[in-house]
Structure 1
Amino acid sequence: MPEVSIIMPTYNRADTIGRAIDSVRRQTFQDWELIIVDDGSTDGTASLVEGLDPRVRLIRQENAGCYVARNNGLRNSRGRYLTFIDSDDEWLPYFLEITLAFLKWSPEDQFVMTEFLEDWGVGSRVRHDIYEISNKFPRMARTVGSQLVELPPGESDNYLRVYDTSEPLGDWGRNIAVRAGYSDAALYRGHIFEYLRFRHLGWLPITILTRKALDTIGLFPENYRTAADYRFLGLLYRNFRANMISLPGAIKHNKAVGGRDLAEAHLATGVNEYRYAVHRLPLFDELFWNERKTDPEIKRIRGLYQYYAGRTALEHGKRKEALVHLREASDAVPGLWQARWLGLFVRIIPSIRIASGLYCFNLYLRYVVGRITSEGLGPIDLTRLAVRKLFSGVRRLKARAKQ
């Protein structure tokens, strides 16, 4: 009986799964089983797994989506604790050791998380949650007139916009953090469910939970192909106190090994971004909107998610859907002039191909200007960037044509 079961769903990840598996095998804590559920891959992913390690179990299924695969893995798991890793991402070596040390030290708690690094393949890595909490959460809160993420008086620690308390790591984790190079890591605790209204908070591959927690919140809904992580974490946060160790436990990669584009797009970006935006709406409704339709703040936040869905619909050439989402956004957030102007833009331009192309070109210009401003890119760098974006755009058009 392994101490922890690790669930890894995969689909056409021959270009990245080796990196992910190696990161599990390099863990400083070794009492684990890795259950890889191959969701009908056609690129030989499964052949890279068979016979690799006696602790690695491969389950094959017909293509049914990430959440069917995760549930399949969970039903076949044997460990006392449960966690997840995606086949295109990477754990840092001490992740299991420090999180399991916490859960054994504090057995009344049902889950713990760490920070994580996001690697876009274009330079430095970003500590995801502290960046979101410090920048994007307050910006969204200001847009909807919320005071929820204001810092407590006299505090400068941005994690405390969300968490209730901060304390140094005890004997259970201090030496592990020092070995990992993060002697300043702290333990943050609190009930964080309400903050999930603003954006994603936390991430499944840096979350480890007990069997009791899974029994309480249940499996993933299988009628979604994307975004259901949001619901899973929401139910976890709603039912239990959150614990977060402020050192990165994993790297979320947006590129394959060597900086190459992923052969299969992420479930929430690229060709899948509109589907993600649409699927997140009913999940937000389940967690926040359905029981709070008289709450003006929740209504405005829902309007911002409609605006996001409208923008991605336009980017993907979906005229009718863009107009519906943008109208919903305008009604929910009267001061959101961007939604009104964008809706007018879509109605005026006679061709959705032209409207989508102009909008994407505008996004590209804003991206380039931002990179020039923040990084001082020169002509050679800009040429490389333009070529990369061109090929990325061609791949996106080919993928869109297959849908």
Structure 2
Amino acid sequence: MGHARLRFGHYELDLNGKQLRHHGQAVRVEPQAVEVLCHLIAHRDRAVTKEELLDTVWSGRQVTEAALAAAVHAARHAVSDTGERREVIRTVHRHGYQFVAPVTPVPTSNTYDSIRFCRTMDGTCLAYTILGAGPPLVSAANWLTHLGLDRRSPMWRHWYRDLMRDSRRTLRYDDRGGGLSDWCPPSASPQVWVEDLDTVVDAAGFDTFPIIGTAQAAATAIAYAAARPHRVSRMILISSHARGRQVRARTDLDRRVADVDLNLATVAWQSADPSFLRAYAAQFLPNATAAEWDAYLEFTQRTTSPENMVRFFEILATMDVFPLARQVRCPTLILHSRGDPRVPVSDATELASLIDDSRLVVLDSDNHLFSGTEPAWAELVQHVDDFLAD
């Protein structure tokens, strides 16, 4: 294929990682569309037939030319080649397509992570990346992530700086339904979470590893550790959202609060009303400023569709992996904020009681997602370092 990264106009295409960027920012492209782009730019010296694209992009699976036309249309839209005069992908009458924009190679550097893709048994495309070198660490996918954006997000960048450092070979992936993975509807099934994680770790060549689950990803980590005890050596759970509000409700008031919470989330994301959105963001970062809430919301709105966001909140409200926690056999560290407004510390205490070899550390914080500037964050990092070093 020659050079792995090629630039045309203000766009840059990583042929190995199947990643498109515009002015340095990752562009959300459907997997088939980016495959079309990669094949056309790699063979830009000639017109590529429709048959060749169908065989290459869909690996011989029977699909119609309409599917190819849709993928080409999406590829053109991704690179703003939407005018009457095609300046990037030109249609060759009765033959196929040719990439015609001027291209220059990009020197190899470590500016961006190499993002890779794998496909599950049901055909869902999952995006993953491996950071650093050294002992392995798998980060279970939590929602509202985007492999192309989140390392620069104020909400997440300290997690990568301090927990997923160069001295660890950390595997991360975007969950189905968001980020750079397929934006299909998210699944509420722990079995699907386990199978997706199997797909990613197998593609990355990971065998036995510690696993870390933050917020909703704690549910995936617990389900995986219970189902695959031979693969998980240790488990770290942070701000564990392992049981939804509607599940843990015990009184009429609890149930009304759970219903209001779900209704607020639904209205906020369907209407995009800033007042509703800020009210929801405040539950995750209650001590943040209005500007920090807006930055958090701007980032999350780029991670998935409004429809998937609403489905995700329904999953959060009703999921329950507490029964699976009894089956976990690996050493487990549970870190939780004393004043977590999303998941009460009592849930973390009960979860710890279900896992035989577990240790609960309650940190002085009021945030569900720890900020990088609060004292509790440095304590959390030290606990994780000590636990992984044992």
Q: Normalization by structure 2: what TM-score? A: 0.24
Higher relative contact order (CA 8 A, sep 6+): 1
Query: How does the TM-score come out when normalised to structure 1?
Result: 0.23
Determine which structure has the larger helix proportion and give its number.
Answer: 1
